[in-house]
Amino acid sequence: MVSKWITKGVQFAVRYAALCGYISAAMNQYGTISVVGPAFTNREVTLKASPFYPWGCDVEWKFLIENGSQLKSMDGVNNTTRYSEDESFFFKWKASTEFNGSIFYAECATNNTIKTNMISINLRDIVGSCGALGILSPVVRGADVKLAYFPSDLYIHRNTDTGRTWTHNLQDIQLQDGSYEERSVSKYVYILTIFNFKEKDEGPYDLKCNADGKTDSVHLHMSERPSYPVFDPKLLDFNTTQCIYVYAGSDFYCNTENGTEPVQIVILLGQNSFVHGERNGGKGYQIDNIHQQMGGLSRRNVTCRVSNAALETPYKVHGTLCSVEEGSPPVLSVPEFLEGENSSAICEVRNAIQAPLLEIHVDNVLLGDVQQKDLFNGSSHTFTSTAKVTKSNKLWNRKQMCCVRKSKYDFRLEVVSVCKNISMKCTYSILLMLSTFADINYLSNRD
C-alpha cells in the first residue's frame, strides 16, 4: 500500500513539474504551438510551432502522455515528418489512440528554457461508413480554401473507391467547371480546393462516398483579415532614424483595423511580450509609460504580431524603440567682430537622440534669422545640431546672447540654456575705412 502511494506521489510530482514548465513556457511567450487542421485517430496530425523570434537552434518536439509519469521526446516516434516554412516549424505523424489527451510543446534543442506554450490534442474517431471532413486552411475572401476528406477504415478496407461526389448546399459539385479541384494525397486523405472563395461559396459541404452513404457536413463562413499593423507614434524624422521615441510618460501603439474576432496582437520587446488590448474602439495594443520597459537602453528592437482565423501566417512588423537623450549641453560661440567669419553666432549640441530645437536670444529677444542644421550619424544613431546666425548687429555689443535647447516635440525634457556677454571689435577693414574717412574729413576741413 505504501509503495503504491509513493508511486502515485512520484507521478504527481513529475506531472506537477511538467505543468509548472507549461506555465513558465506560457508566461515566457517564446512562441506558440497549434494543430493544423483536424486531428483524427490513426490519421496524420500536424503540429505547427511559431517562434516569436529566431531561436537559432534545432527544434525538439516533446509531449506528456495523459496520466503519464514523464515527459517524452517525439524522436522515438516512427514515420514522422519535420519541415519548416515561413519561419514556423512543422511536425507530422500518424497519431494513434495513445496520443489522445496528450500535451505537446516545442523547445530549443540547446536551451530548454526557450519553448512554446503547450497544447492538448483531443483526437476524434472517424465514424460512419464514409469518413469525415475537415477544414485545412483559413476561409478568406479571394483565397483558395481547402477541405480534406478522411475516409473511414471501412471505406479503405473495402476498397470501394467507385467515385466520390462533393456537395455544396446539397448540390453536386462539378469538378470540371474550373472552380474546384480534387487531389488525392494518399488513401487516407483527399483534398478539395475551392478557388477564389466568395460569398456564394459559403455554406455546408459534405461528400457522398457511395449511393447511400455520406459524411457529416462542415460549414464554411468567411473570416476577414485584419489590416497590416502599424507602429505609432512616428515623428517626422522616422525615415531617417527608424526610431519611435520613448520618454517618461510616453505611450507606444501597435495598431491594426478590422478583421474577424478574435484578433490576437502580441508585442515583443526583448524577452518580454505584451498580449492584446483595445484602443479608441479599434483593434490595437497600447503600452503606457513604455520607457519603463527600456531598461536604460538607447535602442531596442520591437516586433508586433497580429493573427486571427483568416491569417495562416501572422502579420509581423518590426521597428526600433529609442530612448530620448538630450545630448551634450549647448556650446555657444558669440560674435567677436562686426564683420567677417568671426561675426557669426554659433550654438551646437552633440550626441542627441532626436535632434533638439535650438533658439538664439539677445537680451531675451528671439532672433528670427537662425539657420539650424541637423546631421545624423548612422553609426551612433545620434544627431549633431548646429544653429547659426551669420550677420552680427552693432546694437548687440555689450549685451548678452543665449542659446536655448528645447525639444522639437512634446518630450517634456528640461530646457537648457547657455549665455555669454558680447564684446565685439571692429575688423581691420572697418578700421581702415574709418581711418580713411577721418583723413578725408580732416583734409576737407583744412581746405
* Sequential pLDDT tens for the chain (447 residues): 434 333 333 333 333 333 333 333 333 468 889 999 899 999 999 999 988 888 889 999 999 876 656 788 898 888 899 999 888 999 999 999 989 989 999 999 999 889 998 999 999 999 888 999 999 999 999 999 999 999 998 888 876 556 789 999 999 999 888 899 999 988 889 999 999 999 999 999 999 987 678 999 999 999 999 999 999 888 889 989 989 998 887 888 899 988 888 888 888 887 777 877 555 556 788 888 888 877 667 788 899 989 888 988 889 999 999 988 888 999 999 988 776 556 889 999 999 988 999 999 999 899 989 999 999 999 999 999 999 998 888 889 899 999 999 988 877 778 999 999 998 887 644 444 444 444 445 445 555
Question: Which domains are present in the chain?
Answer: 2-120 (2.60.40.10), 131-220 (2.60.40.10), 230-323 (2.60.40.10), 331-429 (2.60.40.10)
Closest CA to 52 of 22, 28, 81, 76: 28
Question: In terms of pTM, does the model score above 0.75?
Answer: no
CA distance 381 to 379: 6
Angle at 354 (CA atoms; ends 348, 359), nearest 5 degrees: 40
